[in-house]
Structure 1
Amino acid sequence: MTTLALGPEWISPDYLIETFSLPGILLIVFAESGLFAFLPGDSLLFTAGLFVAQGEFISQPLWLVCALIVAAAVLGDQVGYMIGKFFGPRLFSRPNSKLFKQENLEKAHEFMDKYGPKAIVLARFVPIVRTFAPIVAGAGRMQYRTFLTYNVIGGVAWGTGVTLAGYWLGQIEFIRTNVEAILVLIVLVSVVPIGIEYLRERKKKQRAAAAAPATPAPQQQHQPAYPVMDDATTQLRRVDPYDQPQQQYGRQYDQGYGNQQPPQQPYAQQYPQGYGDQPQQYGDQYPYNQGR
């Protein structure tokens, strides 16, 4: 957002209004809403209200000026939504482009994630974000009816609110004689949300960087135990009596399974007392059948 005190003369609000009058205002509002971020927005509408109050450079009545500004703002957001819907993936995949910066797209994306559909209304009052918010909404496939509803609400609130503020304040003598200072104040008030958000992100990164060394990485927690385990394993291997399995098994079993001799006597001869002789024995030991 540029003013006569902070930017080149050819995009200062008073120069644009004096040169192009109301058609120039509508064209800039349309472009700034969904195409070019670095154009005067809030300051332009405020200055338009001042000139309507003074009756200079703008001959149309206030209600018509507000209605046309709202229409230009809504149409500009509609174009931004369509750009995001059809070209969104390409815009986000490119690090930088002439018209769109990846950083601005990411800021608008974070703004949309934080506030949801109502971000379309809130973004109207935040420079740069209001240009890329409809693009992000289109790229994110926000329902068109939802976008249109919030787009109209935001366009009416922003287009009429800032213009009426300039019109009413323009009737005050102090405001008329200090237009440049008032416009600079508008710029500062507009960028306050951006500055606050920047400071929050900076503090968040500093806290994350300060807390990172206190938490060791998972792989570093187990590294000191590996050499000790290796030494202990080596020591166990030295004292383990089964460390040489081939030699031990060779000594214990000199004859293979093929050299073992089968039993010389039948099974009945080795065990002459079979199971048939045992009932008497168990009968003597456990006389359950004897009378009491």
Structure 2
Amino acid sequence: MGIINFFIELIKDPRTAIAAWITMGVAPTLGFIFLIVFIETGVVFFPFLPGDSLLFAAGFFAAPDAATGTSALPIMALLPVIWTAPIVGDQCNYFIGHFFGRRIIDSGKVKAMTPERLASTEAMIDKWGPLAVFLGRFFPFIRTFMPFISGISGMRWTRFTPFSVLGGLTWSTLFTLLGYFFGGIPVVQDNFELVIVAILVISLLPTIIGLIKARASRRTSQD
């Protein structure tokens, strides 16, 4: 139950989670951030981890304090961590899909990998090709399934990797710098939990719309 509670609290309030890590030191905090982003990206069994909001909260702690000019996390140490984690995670997930993907899907052990989500991810690949790897990085669940499905589909590693690297760098930099520049605004600080919820909702909205469209299309074809 301990690990479950850890993930629940992390999803609910990443700012409090990072604040607790900071009390252990900068190095452990960077290690935890790397691990969470890597797991969300690189392990197909954990698509529910809050990558977007975690990066935003990390950026918030990297911003210099208005009074002292110091920060809890040095931005120049944070950036290499949040750049490396999604790139390495994507590579790991691609090869998991390439070598073990069909067996994992057939086992039914990844409950989050519903037929609708698989269909949505495969539709992106069919429509956009390797560009889908870049675009999928910005959608929760899809960013976890995209490298996995890319490995299953036979997309060449040399086509997958450039778009994976570009997507990982763009996504991680964007959300971290949003927290860095806007996390210290008083209205954001006073409503930080609502901001996190808004980030989650906005991130999930395209995926939800895609699933609804896919389900409606399937019903239409059945009729």
Q: Is the TM value for this pair above 0.5?
A: yes
* Equivalent residues in 2 for 1:1-292, closer than 5 Å: 8-11=8-11, 12-20=13-21, 21-35=29-43, 36-53=46-63, 59-94=72-107, 96-98=108-110, 101-103=113-115, 104-209=117-222, 212=223
Q: What letter matches 1:15 in structure 2?
A: T
Change (3 A) 1:169 1:10: closer
3-state SS, counterpart of residue 125 of structure 1: coil
Q: After TM superposition, give the deviation of residue 159 of structure 1 in Å.
A: 0.7
- Check conservation: 1:34, 1:132, Cα contact below 8 A: no
Change (3 A) 1:97 1:18: same
In the alignment, the residues of structure 2 paired with residue 98 and residue 199 of structure 1 have an alpha-carbon distance, to the nearest angstrom, of 21
Q: After TM superposition, give the deviation of residue 98 of structure 1 in Å.
A: 4.7
Q: What letter matches 1:123 in structure 2?
A: G
Name which one, 1 or 2, has greater alpha-carbon Rg.
1
3-state SS, counterpart of residue 129 of structure 2: helix
In the alignment, the residues of structure 1 paired with residue 210 and residue 38 of structure 2 have an alpha-carbon distance, to the nearest angstrom, of 27
In the alignment, the residues of structure 2 paired with residue 165 and residue 124 of structure 1 have an alpha-carbon distance, to the nearest angstrom, of 17
Q: TM-score, normalised by structure 1?
A: 0.63
Q: TM-score, normalised by structure 2?
A: 0.82
Q: Which structure 2 residue ranges, 5 or more long, are not aligned?
A: 1-6, 22-28, 66-70
> Which segments of structure 1 move beyond 4 Å, counting only runs of 4 or more?
none
Q: Which structure 1 residue ranges, 5 or more long, are not aligned?
A: 1-6, 213-292
Q: After TM superposition, give the deviation of residue 25 of structure 1 in Å.
A: 1.0
Q: CA RMSD in A?
A: 2.2
Change (3 A) 1:121 1:17: same
Structure having the higher helix fraction is 2
**Cα-to-partner distance string for 1:22-69 (whole Å, 9 max, x where unaligned):** 2211100000012110111101111111111255xx744223312210
Q: Which has the higher contact order (CA 8 A, sep 6+)?
A: 2
In the alignment, the residues of structure 1 paired with residue 18 and residue 151 of structure 2 have an alpha-carbon distance, to the nearest angstrom, of 32
Equivalent in the alignment of 1:249: none
Identity of aligned residues (%): 37
Q: After TM superposition, give the deviation of residue 99 of structure 1 in Å.
A: 6.9
Change (3 A) 1:38 1:119: same
In the alignment, the residues of structure 2 paired with residue 45 and residue 134 of structure 1 have an alpha-carbon distance, to the nearest angstrom, of 20
In the alignment, the residues of structure 2 paired with residue 67 and residue 31 of structure 1 have an alpha-carbon distance, to the nearest angstrom, of 17
Structure 1 stretch displaced more, 31-40 or 18-27: 18-27
